[in-house]
């Protein structure tokens, strides 16, 4: 188990699951870089954790903006020289819940894939040289149970009638990226996994979600601090595999 202090970057950490993930990792003594696309929101979130006696470093990173990502990479390189864990948490759900697949505009499809897939790939590739400098690199991709084609095509599954086409499909693609990147890096110490956090009470998950933030961050925290004999190329929720 890598109990030593890790340098961890969480994207989209100014609120929701990302902020709670940053909180729990800081509580465990890791050096947390709290990513936010809006500098002020990032500073406010970091101040909130500071008021709880925790220390995190706010870092501005808009995952959709290549220049912003490059500045974040340069900052981490200059100040830390490596990155132990990258948590690709930033994500968007642009469709109303219950949206009909055929009513989803191409604009929504494109914007959803831009942030949830292409930017996730871009951020990962940009930070990979720094992650390779870690002796136990971990990459955590926030997918969703809504990524599961097995469950979506099973009429007895509880997500069967819960379809947000662009979001779900972007997360299925995230899972495919996890599998491909894990294969590419299989002969390195780096582990790449997809997380389903749970259906969590956040702006994205909505008030009807059953899971509290504290539990919703646990899967990301566990995958960011996996021991050397932990899985890679897996799709997990609270330690248990989910069907692809």
The residues of the shown chain that bind ligand NAP, judged by CB under 6 A, are 11-12, 14-18, 37-38, 41, 62-64, 89-92, 115, 142, 144, 196-197, 199-200, 202-205, 209
Active-site option among 171, 191, 201, 218: 171
Nearer to ligand NAP, 202 or 232 (CB): 202
Nearer to ligand NAP, 35 or 230 (CB): 35
Active-site residue 167, yes or no?
yes
Minimum gap (Å) between residue 135 Cβ and ligand NAP? 27
Tokens of 19: 């902020």
Nearer to ligand NAP, 13 or 226 (CB): 13
Q: How far apart are CA 59 and CA 62, in angstroms?
A: 10
C-alpha dihedral (86, 87, 88, 92), degrees to nearest 10: -160
DSSP assignment of 81-121: S--SEEEE------SPTT--GGG--HHHHHHHHIIIIIIHH
Distance of CA 240 to the CA centre of its chain: 17
Active-site option among 41, 160, 163, 167: 167
Q: What are phi and psi of 36, to 5 degrees?
A: -150, 140
Minimum gap (Å) between residue 3 Cβ and ligand NAP? 26
Minimum gap (Å) between residue 13 Cβ and ligand NAP? 6
Nearer to ligand NAP, 34 or 185 (CB): 34
C-alpha dihedral (182, 167, 214, 241), degrees to nearest 10: -40
Strands 31-36 and 56-60: parallel
Overall size of the chain counted in residues: 244
Q: What are phi and psi of 85, to 5 degrees?
A: -140, 135
Minimum gap (Å) between residue 71 Cβ and ligand NAP? 13
Minimum gap (Å) between residue 117 Cβ and ligand NAP? 11
Buried b (16+ CB within 10 A) or exposed e, 46-56: bebbeeeebeb
Q: Which residues are annotated as catalytic?
A: 167, 171
């Amino acid at each position: 188990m890598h109990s030593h202090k890790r340098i961890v970057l969480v994207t989209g950490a100014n609120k929701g699951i990302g902020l709670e993930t940053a909180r729990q990792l800081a509580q465990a003594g890791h050096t947390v870089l709290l990513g936010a696309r809006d500098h002020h929101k990032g500073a406010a979130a970091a101040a909130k954790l500071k008021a709880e006696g925790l220390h995190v470093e706010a870092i501005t990173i808009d995952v959709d903006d290549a220049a912003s990502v490059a500045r974040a990479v340069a900052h981490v390189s200059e100040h830390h020289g490596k990155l132990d864990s990258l948590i690709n948490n930033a994500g968007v759900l642009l469709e109303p819940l219950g949206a009909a697949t055929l009513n989803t505009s191409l604009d929504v499809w494109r914007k959803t894939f831009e942030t949830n897939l292409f930017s996730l790939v871009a951020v990962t590739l940009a930070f990979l040289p720094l992650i390779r400098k870690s002796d136990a690199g971990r990459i955590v991709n926030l997918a969703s149970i809504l990524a599961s084609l097995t469950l979506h095509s099973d009429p007895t599954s509880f997500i069967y009638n819960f379809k947000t086409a662009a979001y779900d499909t972007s997360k299925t693609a995230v899972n495919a990226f996890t599998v491909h990147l894990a294969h590419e890096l299989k002969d390195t110490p780096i582990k790449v996994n997809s997380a389903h956090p749970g259906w969590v009470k956040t702006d994205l998950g909505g008030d009807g979600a059953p899971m509290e933030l504290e539990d919703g961050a646990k899967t990301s925290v566990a995958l960011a601090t996996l021991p050397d004999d932990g899985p890679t190329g897996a799709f997990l929720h609270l330690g248990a595999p989910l069907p692809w």
